[in-house]
Every structure is written in structure tokens, then in C-alpha cells.
Amino acid sequence: MIGVGNDLMGDDGIGPHIARILKNGTELPPEVDAFDEGRGGMRLLHHIKGYDGLVIIDAADIGKDPGDYIVFRPEEVESERILSGRSVHEWDLMKVLELSRMMGECPSDVRILAVQPKVLRMGEGISGELLEREDEYVERVLELVRGP
């Protein structure tokens, strides 16, 4: 499980925040690793190699109320046009996943939990709307990593 986002940009830090909760808690199954990957990019490649599954959490403009989220698979994103308005990480993430797929190193089961941000400003902390739902995000990530 990888949390992507910038802690210095308000709600963009929700991915790393949830990754730290999971990494520092005892809730993750022993075969699951949690990474706080900050702003993502090509560094993600070394985290995803060798895994059967991958869950990524990131803030993204998905057109919902702050704190709401969706879960989707990369193959459900048909074009870069669909990603317009979503986070820079999301778009970059799709390129990294495609590259890892081309290299034969992408996990077969990849899911992205995208959380609608309220605040994306330098120096702002994570908004109350998202913090109030952190337990919900943690539980959803746990459901995803445990599988069907």
C-alpha cells in the first residue's frame, strides 16, 4: 500500500497520512507493506516491483464533496482527458504504472483510492472533513489489501 501526496499542501497529504497510520499500527497483515511515498513519480517503481497487489491512496479532484472517495483500477481510466482536474500525482501515477506494466513488473491487481480534497494550499494541514473520516479510509484500505 502506498500513500502518495505532499504533506505541505493541505489535503494532498491524506495519502501519506493514512500510510503512516497503517505503517505504525498493528492493523496491516504481515505480508502487506505500507509506504509513504510523498510526491510519487518514478520512485514508485521500486516500491511496486515484486508485489501481487497494490493499493494506492491519493487526494484527487473527483468532483465529489470533500472527504468522499472512489476506488478504481488504472485500466478504468481511458485517457489523460479523464484525468484532467485530478491530482498531478494521479496523472504521473498512471504513467508510472504503465511503464511498470511495459517492464513486466506491475502487480496484477492495482487499485487506487482517490479522496476528494477540500484544501490544497501550501502550509495548510489536512482539513477536518478528511480527518474525521481517516478511520473509514484506513478500513477501506484494509479491505482492499485483504482482497475479496
Write out pLDDT tens, residues 39-96.
666 777 777 888 889 999 999 999 999 999 999 998 887 544 444 444 444 457 778 8
Grid cell of 59 as nine digits: 487526494
Domains of the chain: 2-146 (3.40.50.1450)
- State residue 128's pLDDT score: 94
Backbone angles phi, psi at 58, to 5 degrees: -155, 155
Report the C-alpha gap between 32 and 79 in whole angstroms: 30
Look up the pTM and report it.
0.85
Which residues face 70 on adjacent strands? Answer: 114
- State residue 40's pLDDT score: 64
* SS3 annotation, the chain: CEECCCCCCHHHHHHHHHHHHHHHCCCCCCCCCCEECCCCHHHHHHHHCCCCEEEEEEECCCCCCCCCEEEECHHHCCCHHHHCCCCHHHHHHHHHHHHHHHCCCCCCEEEEEEECCCCCCCCCCCCHHHHCCHHHHHHHHHHHHHCC
Q: Strand pairing of 35-36 and 53-59?
A: unpaired
Greatest C-alpha distance within the chain: 40
